[in-house]
Amino acid sequence: MTRTERPAVPLTGGDQIHAPAPGTEWWRDAVIYQVYPRSFADGNGDGMGDLPGITSRLDHLAKLGVDAVWLSPFYRSPQKDAGYDVTDYRQVDPRFGTLDDFDAMRARAHELGLRVIVDLVPNHSSDQHVWFQEALAAAPGSLARDRYMFRDGKGADGAEPPNNWQSIFGGPAWTRLAPREDDGPAGPQWYLHLFDSSQPDLNWDNAEVRAEFEDVLRFWLDRGVDGFRVDVAHGMIKETGLPDWDGKVAMVEGSDGANGGSNEGPMFDQDGVHEIYRAWHKVLDEYDGDRCLVAEAWVSPMSRLARYVREDEMQQAFNFAFLVTKWNAGKLRDVVTESLETMDAVGAPTTWVLSNHDVVRHASRLGLDETADGPMNGIGPADVQPDAELGLRRARAATLLMLSLPGSAYLYQGEELGLPDHTTLPDDVRQDPAFFRTHGAEVGRDGCRIPLPWEADRPGLGFGPSDATWLPQPESYRALAADQQYGVDGSTFELYRGALGLRRAERLGQGGLTWVAGYADAADVVALRVADVIVLSNLGAAPVVLPEGAEVLIASGPLTESAEGIALPTDTTVWIRG
């Protein structure tokens, strides 16, 4: 054994912190793949992905072996925030196709055994929504204005915003209307928008708003969807009186408050939101099968998140605490334990997620110095650039660790190809409102939203029938195109496919979890047993020697051999038959 190797440790014993949970509903242990429609696949050659494009590539997901697909919004929208600004909740945006295209996509997905989850955006609508247009045309105090959060301003002539809240995309969270003759003494009113000024917040104390969204749920349930991802699920109810708050709001609260932001202000996580989800739970109960709601709720501590998945509320909530955890063995153990214990307490499955359309992809994030407070939601050309090789190695190790964990896991399109962010996008192609509202101080999220590479030798890397792509693809995407990875031993696609197959066969999603005693406090090694599989992640520099005779099921990278036996190199995860 070389001096730097870590000798083998028996992989027995340890504390079980999560009991096996052989739940019956599909979502309890499902692996759910996020499709970002504008960047998945383009059917008509306009450079923007669409529903026919998605349908044409569903075989990729079936081959990969996921259980469900979640689609980010494809509804009618001026696309000021890439579709998270909806003008018609019951209509497909012409850029993405038609309702018939949706039905065809849904039918094909179900034929392939894939469930379909759609995105619901209830915190705000687009300013082009007929309700907001009515509100603009109506007088202060009217029923039409009551559907949104209109208020008189403060100060002389109401010239100052009603409070000091800031938009999550930067700048003030209030915009003032143009003057009208019937304005009161405070002059033109202001409206609240936690996000872009084109995304006015709805008033969830208004009964019509509540009834409308219950109806929207039924509309899509009638069209056969299996569930909803609920956007900004922690934001719909604001503290009474809308008190000033001096904190800085942040969608992505970095680990240890890394980006200086918080989501603990009076606009978030108010107790009143839960009544909404209890009502929605009942709507889902009107339908057969196991339909589900998943909360996008950036709240902490985790015990607050668990309130969204109590028995009569939603079924799942994204585990962003896991996503923001640094590549550190102790911190990973802590977040896994806390996640399982907190969700077990309310009988909900834990979820796991490493990437989505709002954060820097984990292949890039983990390629930054782990001690630095890396930017969570965007890397630009002027920032320190990630180490691509290191990032991919760690990303594969992190994913293989994640896919062993009990509960449900979310994948973001392209991570199965090992895609990094585009970190050198020129400013003139950027589209994220966060870039514009912060005057470039934040580059925004475009870098994780690049059109997917399907075929290395085709124009636009096979994104669609033309060479158009709504954002440019970096040169590094060519070698990572899907057709370069299918059937190729050691490719990231085959790693994901292999892990998903084993996860299903070994029933890891329903397994109990035990921290392997010999590594329970190790600074550089995460070691756990789920069902009959032992998982080791080596985050340290020294290779970890595996016990003699260990039967390796899958590894995130090549293992090494020494006189002492097989060893697990740095930044690598292995699954071993337990």
x/- binding map, residues 194-223, to ligand GLC, per CB under 6 A? -x----------------------------
Out of 29, 81, 415, 506, the residue judged to bind ligand GLC by CB under 6 A: 81
Q: What's the closest the beta carbon of residue 536 comes to ligand GLC, in angstroms?
A: 34
H, E, C per residue of 143-182: HHHHCECEECCECHHHCECCCCCECCCCCECEEECCCCCC
User: How many Cα atoms within 13 Å fall on the side-chain side of residue 220?
Assistant: 30
Which one of 35, 64, 66, 121 is in contact with ligand GLC (CB under 6 A)?
Answer: 121
Q: Does 68 bind ligand GLC (CB under 6 A)?
A: no
Per the annotation, the verdict on 93 as an active-site residue is no
| Strand partners of residue 576 | 534, 552
Q: What sign results for the dihedral spanned by CA atoms 26, 28, 34, 37?
A: positive
Candidates 200, 206, 197, 194; CA nearest to 132 is 200
Site for ligand GLC in 427-466 (CB under 6 A): none
Dihedral sign, Cα of residue 453, residue 458, residue 462, residue 468: positive
Tokens representing 453 are 């590479």
Of residues 195 and 519, the one with the C-beta less far from ligand GLC: 195
- Beta carbon nearer to ligand GLC, 396 or 449: 449
Site track 83-112 with ligand GLC (rule: CB under 6 A), x = hit: -x----------------------------
* Nearest alpha carbon to residue 248 among 237, 263, 234, 235: 263
CB of 434 to ligand GLC, least distance (A): 8
Residue among 489, 468, 118 at smallest CA distance from 291: 118
The residue among 313 and 358 lying less far from ligand GLC, judged by its C-beta, is 358
Binder of ligand GLC out of 42, 101, 226, 231 (CB under 6 A): 231
- Which of 105, 232, 390, 576 forms a contact with ligand GLC (CB under 6 A)? 232
End-to-end CA separation in angstroms for the chain: 24
Smallest separation (angstroms) from ligand GLC to the CB of 491: 29
Q: Which of helix, strand or coil describes residue 573?
A: strand
CB of 119 to ligand GLC, least distance (A): 8
| Distance in Å, CB of 139 to ligand GLC, minimum | 29
**Contacts of 262 by beta carbon, 8 Å cutoff, 6+ apart:** 247, 248, 249, 250, 253
Residue with tokens 């039924």: 218
493 sits in the region (left: phi over 0; alpha: psi -120 to 50; else beta) called alpha
Residue 192 binding ligand GLC, by CB under 6 A: no
Give min distance, CB of 205 to ligand GLC, in A. Answer: 20
Residue 170 or residue 462: which is nearer to ligand GLC going by CB? 170
Nearer of residues 195 and 280 to ligand GLC, judged by Cβ: 195
Nearer to ligand GLC, 81 or 226 (CB): 81
Amino acid, res. 302 = M
**Complex with ligand GLC: residue 21 or 294, whichever CB lies closer:** 294
Do β-strands 115-120 and 68-71 pair in parallel, antiparallel, or remain unpaired? parallel
Residue 226, token pair as written in the block: 């299996």
CB of 201 vs ligand GLC, minimal distance in Å: 10
Closest CA to 36 of 328, 334, 449, 533: 449
The residue length of the chain stands at 578
Distances (CA, A) of 359 to 309, 320, 396: 23, 11, 17
**In the complex, what is the shortest distance from the CB of residue 195 to ligand GLC, in angstroms, rounded to a whole number?**
5
Q: Which two tokens stand for residue 364?
A: 């890039």
Task: Write the DSSP symbol of residue 213.
Answer: H
Determine if 251 is a binding residue for ligand GLC (CB under 6 A): yes
Query: For residue 101, which phi and psi values (nearest 5 degrees)?
Result: -65, -40
Nearer to ligand GLC, 84 or 245 (CB): 84
Of 59, 275, 285, 286, which residue is the catalytic one? Answer: 286
Catalytic residue among 231, 313, 446, 506: 231
Active site residue 231: yes
Closer residue to ligand GLC, CB minimum distance, 262 or 476: 262
- Minimum CB separation of residue 244 from ligand GLC in Å reads 23
| Residues in 339-358 at the binding interface with ligand GLC, rule: CB under 6 A | 357-358
What are 427's two structure tokens?
């400013």
Closer residue to ligand GLC (CB): 212 or 483: 212
Report the alpha-carbon distance of residue 388 to residue 400 in Å, rounded.
18
Distance in Å, CB of 161 to ligand GLC, minimum: 20
Per rule CB under 6 A, count of chain residues that contact ligand GLC: 10
Helix (H, G, I), strand (E, B) or coil at 125: coil
Cα-based distances in Å from 469 to 39, 162, 276, 463:
8, 42, 39, 7
Q: Which residues contact 383 (CB under 8 A, 6 or more apart)?
A: 375, 423, 443
What is the set of active-site residues? 231, 286
Point out which residues bind ligand GLC (CB under 6 A). 81, 84, 121, 195, 231-232, 251, 296, 357-358
